[in-house]
Chain A
């Protein structure tokens, strides 16, 4: 079984400040990790993914995340946020277990960028 914990449900931050959104996972199989962003009343957009290789992953809109196997974490970071980054962010894990290709999502972190 897999699970994802997003430790912060709400993260307010001032514009141009750095931000880190935390994500921890548990899985008994090899994992693939994703961050998605959801703007109000829209679908999910893939920000970045970790499938294999380098543990530091760069995504769109200046976001990056680091896969830490020993700490089972995949925290999302951005060095300087913009008002337009205000959205809900979801961490998700997928695993290679037979036909189990579905993603397991965390409960989300609402990032609010303040002027």
Chain B
């Protein structure tokens, strides 16, 4: 499957724990975007990364959230000390950087109890 892969698909965390969401972009893509979808809402941009670089993190909450896209391996979205308001679907998308088309993964649904 050459599509965007995300894991886990579902993640349950208790308040105060850490959540790590992984995204492997489509083959040949080196640009990754993270979006968050709250219940009954559209997707909101969080962060845009290229390999080893954060290009735009204007949508990231100032605290507890971080993202990386190392030279090797998947992109990681990390949420420390999760709170109930972090419960949402987190989607990763990738592109080849030459076009504005983005291809989305199936998402990770985070539930904070």
Contact A42 B106, beta carbon cutoff 8 Å: yes
For chain A, the count of residues having a C-beta within 8 Å of the partner chain is 25
Q: Does B33 contact A (CB under 8 A)?
A: yes
Report B's interface with A, CB cutoff 8 A: 4, 6, 31, 33, 35, 41-45, 48, 55-56, 59, 91, 93, 95, 99-107, 109
Contact A99 B100, beta carbon cutoff 8 Å: no
Q: Which residues of A contact B43 (CB under 8 A)?
A: 44, 90, 92, 103, 105
Q: Does A100 contact B (CB under 8 A)?
A: yes
Within 8 A of B (CB), among A39-62: 41-46, 49, 51
Contact A102 B106, beta carbon cutoff 8 Å: no
Contact A106 B42, beta carbon cutoff 8 Å: yes
Contact B45 A104, beta carbon cutoff 8 Å: yes
Please judge, given known A-B contacts A90-B42, A108-B42, whether A46 and B103 are in contact too, CB under 8 Å.
yes
Shortest Cβ distance from residue B91 to the other chain A in the assembled complex, whole angstroms: 6
Please judge, given known A-B contacts A102-B33, A103-B45, A105-B44, whether A43 and B107 are in contact too, CB under 8 Å.
yes
Q: Does A32 contact B (CB under 8 A)?
A: yes
Contact B31 A101, beta carbon cutoff 8 Å: yes
Bound complex: CA A14 to CA B33 (Å): 37
Which of these, B42, B59, B101, B105, contacts A102 with CB under 8 Å?
A: B59
Bound complex: CA A107 to CA B4 (Å): 23
Q: Which residues of A contact B99 (CB under 8 A)?
A: 51
Known: A43-B4, A100-B56, A103-B35. 13 other contacts (CB 8 A): A43-B6, A43-B91, A43-B107, A44-B104, A49-B100, A51-B99, A92-B43, A101-B33, A102-B48, A102-B59, A103-B33, A104-B45, A107-B42
Bound complex: CA A49 to CA B103 (Å): 12
Among B95, B102, B103, B105, chain A packs the most CB atoms within 10 A around the CB of: B102
Please judge, given known A-B contacts A32-B100, A43-B91, A46-B101, whether A101 and B42 are in contact too, CB under 8 Å.
no
